[in-house]
Chain A
Amino acid sequence: MQVPARFEYEKASSVEEAVELLRRLGPDAHLLAGGHSLIPMMKLRLAAPEVVIDIHELDGELRYVREDDGVLRIGALARHRDVLESEVIGERYPLLRDAETMIADPLVRNMGTVGGGVAHGDPAEDLPAAFVALGGEVVVRGPGRERTIPIDALYLGPYETSLAADEMLTEVRVPNAPDGSAYIKVERRAGDYASASIGVALRMSGGEIEDARIGMCGVGSTTLRARGAEESLRGQPPGEELYRRAGERAAEESEPIEDARGSAEYKRDLVRTLVARALERAVERANREGAR
C-alpha cells in the first residue's frame, strides 16, 4: 500500500491566507491543488512536505478561463477539463485544446489544475510547453506583493521554478492570441507522459511567418524553447522544406535522455518530425482563420 508520510494539514480560505501560511511555515510547506502530481509523489515518498496547505476551497477566486481585452486568463485552479471545454480556447488557442485532449485521462482532468501543472515544474508536463509556445506568463502572489514571470523564465531545473517559497502561482496569462497554433504529443499509451511533445504558435503577415514560438516537452531537464528553430522561420514563406529544416534545428536544440519512453535518438527523431507536423497544422489553421 502506498501511503504518504505523515504531514500536518492546513486549509486556506483565500489566496491571502495561503500566502501568509507559506510565509509562516517556510519551505517545508507545500500547496496542494488537485493533487494529481503531488499526491503520487508523496505516496512514493519522492515528496514529504511537513505541512500541506490545501487550496481547493479557493475555486471561487481562482477557477476561471476567460479572455479580457484580448488577454487570455486562466485561474490557477481551473481544471484541465475546464480548459478542454472552453469555447474561447477551442477557437483562439487550439494548441491548448490539442494538449488537453492528450493530458492524462478524463478522470484525472476533473481534478488536475492548470496552476498545479505549471507550478510543479515537471519537464514531462505538457501545459508548460504549450504556454511557452504561446508566450505565456504567470502571475505570482507573495505576502503583500504580486509579480509576473514570463513562462520561459519560470523553470530552473526539474521540479525547480523561480517561485520563492512564500509565493503562489495564481494565474496563467497569454497576452496575445496567435494566428495559428498546434500541439502534438507522442505517448506510449493513453494517458501517459510524453515521449516527446511539441507546441507551436505563430503569427502570419502577408503570407509569411512573421513570428513563431516552439515549446518542447519531455526532451530536456526542463521545458525547452527551440529559439534557433524559431529564428529560422521568421520572415519566411511557409512550406514543407522550411518546416523540415526547423525540425532539424529543434532536434539539435533538444536534450533528450534515454529512459523507458525511448532512446535519446528516437526522441530527437520525434522532435524533428513533430515540429514539422505542428508547423504545418498551425499554418493551416492560420490560413483557415485568415480566410474567414
Chain B
Amino acid sequence: MRIEVSVNGAPRAAEVEPRLLLVHFVREHLGLTGTHWGCDTSNCGACTVLLDGEPVKSCTLLTVRTDGHEVTTIEGLWSGTELTPVQEGFHQEHGLQCGFCTPGMIVTGTAFLERNPDPTEAEIREAISGNLCRCTGYENIIKSIRWAVEHPARSRESRVGSRE
C-alpha cells in the first residue's frame, strides 16, 4: 500500500506492506536508527516516537496507520547544531548508562514538558512509567528531565558557554 507521511518535517512516500510496524519502517526503510527496537511487546518504550505530537510506541503501530499524519523520531528533535534542553539535561546529569532506552526517554520527556513545563517529581515519574531503563538508572533520568525544566531553551547560549 502506498503511504505519504511526514517524518521529521519532510514528506516521505513509500510502498509498504500493511503488516509493517512503524518501528521497522523508520529504522529499516528510512534508516533512522535512533528509534530503538526493544521488547516488541509495547512494554519498554525504547521505540517511542511522536505521532502528531503525542508519544506512542512504534512497535505497536501499523505504518499504514500513519498515512497522512506526522511522525517525529529522536532525530527530528535535534536542530542539527545544538542539543535540546532535554538532551542537554541527559548530558549534564548523566541520564544514560548503556543508552538503549535514551531515545525513548528523551522523546517521551520532551513531549511531556511541552504539555507540563513545570512538573513535580511524581509527575515526571508517572510520565516515564511507560519507558523502561534496563540499567535501572531512573534517578538520573528524572534529574535530567528536571534539569531541562530548570534550563528552558531560552537560556541556552549562556549554558553552552559555561560548559565549555
Residues of A within 8 A of B (CB): 1-9, 11, 32, 35-36, 39-40, 42-43, 52, 54, 56, 104-108, 110-111, 190-191
Which chain B residues in 24-68 approach chain A with CB under 8 Å?
24, 40-43, 45, 48, 51, 54-57, 60-62, 64-65
Count of inter-chain pairs, beta carbons less than 8 A: 79
* Pairwise interchain contact A35-B60, C-beta atoms closer than 8 A: yes
B163 at the interface (CB under 8 A from A): no
Min CB distance, A126 to chain B, in Å?
A: 16
CB<8 Å pairs between A and B, sample of 23? A1-B24, A2-B40, A2-B41, A3-B19, A3-B21, A5-B19, A6-B17, A7-B19, A9-B1, A32-B62, A39-B21, A39-B61, A43-B41, A52-B18, A52-B62, A105-B130, A106-B108, A107-B55, A108-B42, A108-B60, A110-B55, A111-B57, A191-B130
Give the nearest-CB partner of B20 in chain A.
A3
Given contacts A1-B40, A107-B57, A110-B56, contact A9 B64 (CB under 8 A): yes
* Pairwise interchain contact B60-A191, C-beta atoms closer than 8 A: no
Q: Which residues of A have CB within 8 Å of B62? A: 9, 32, 35, 39, 52, 54
User: Which one of A3, A42, A54, A191 lies within 8 Å of B129 (CB-CB)?
Assistant: A191
Q: Which residues of B have CB within 8 Å of A108? A: 42, 57, 60, 130
Which chain B residues in 53-97 approach chain A with CB under 8 Å?
54-57, 60-62, 64-65
Cα of A40 to Cα of B126 in the assembled complex, Å: 23
User: Taking chain B's interface residues, is the majority helix, strand, or loop, or is none over half, making it mixed?
Assistant: mixed
* Pairwise interchain contact A40-B60, C-beta atoms closer than 8 A: yes
Chain B, interface size category, equals: 20 to 34
Q: Which residues of A have CB within 8 Å of B61? A: 35, 39, 111
Cα of A8 to Cα of B21 in the assembled complex, Å: 15
Residues of B within 8 A of A (CB): 1, 17-19, 21, 24, 40-43, 45, 48, 51, 54-57, 60-62, 64-65, 108, 112, 126-127, 129-131
Give the nearest-CB partner of A39 in chain B.
B60
Cα of A6 to Cα of B152 in the assembled complex, Å: 46
Cα of A111 to Cα of B52 in the assembled complex, Å: 12
Q: Which residues of B have CB within 8 Å of A107? A: 45, 48, 55-57, 108, 130-131
Q: Which residues of A have CB within 8 Å of B48? A: 107
Q: Which residues of A have CB within 8 Å of B60? A: 35-36, 39-40, 108, 111
Min CB distance, A103 to chain B, in Å?
A: 11
Cα of A36 to Cα of B57 in the assembled complex, Å: 9
User: Which one of A1, A39, A42, A104 lies within 8 Å of B130 (CB-CB)?
Assistant: A104
* Pairwise interchain contact B19-A106, C-beta atoms closer than 8 A: no
Cα of A111 to Cα of B55 in the assembled complex, Å: 9
